Amino acid sequence: MGYQASDEQVLEKLRHFVGMLNEESEKGSVIVVEGRRDAEALSRIGFTGSPAVFHNFKGVADFVDSHDSDKKIILLLDMDRTGKYLTSRLVSQLQSRKNSVSLFYKHALAKITNGKVRHVEDLSVYAPQMAGVTGARKDLYFYT
């Protein structure tokens, strides 16, 4: 997944994606990711909220019990077998308790990256370009 000039459209769409995700978070929506590295990757590309990390809970039932039915829950789990399984379990459990569940952002991310990002933590590949670092010295991003 090397960065090329043709990726400029992907970066622009990703910036818009992160902006929309930040707005949702500010409105009180709960953004859910699978693990700590997923949360770190989101913050590296500009997400300013604090996502709920699914693996900090003791399973689906614990997660569902911990969330109010008045908040919108945005599932942004990985697109691998485990992520798809957890997504289906969470959607069915949360909807049975009348929670508002959104998969819009998960589908939007897959569309923006043309399916290249199957794990949310892979978004960190785009972090240097989203921070404005260009050229061959991507390592300079980590010094900012």
pLDDT tens for the 144 residues of the chain, in order: 444 434 788 899 999 999 999 999 999 999 999 999 999 999 999 999 999 999 999 999 999 999 877 899 999 999 999 999 999 999 999 999 988 999 999 999 999 988 888 999 999 988 888 876 655 555 554 544
Tokens for 51, please give them. 């996502």
Write out pLDDT tens, residues 51-64.
999 999 999 999 99
What's the length of the chain? 144
Please answer whether residues 126 and 42 qualify as being in contact, where contact means their C-beta atoms are separated by less than 8 angstroms.
no
Closest by CA to 30, choosing from 121, 39, 15, is 39
pTM assigned to the model:
0.84
d(CA 99, CA 144): 40
Cα–Cα–Cα angle for 34, 53, 49, rounded to 5 degrees: 115
Burial class (CB in 10 A: 0-12, 13-18, 19+), 31: buried
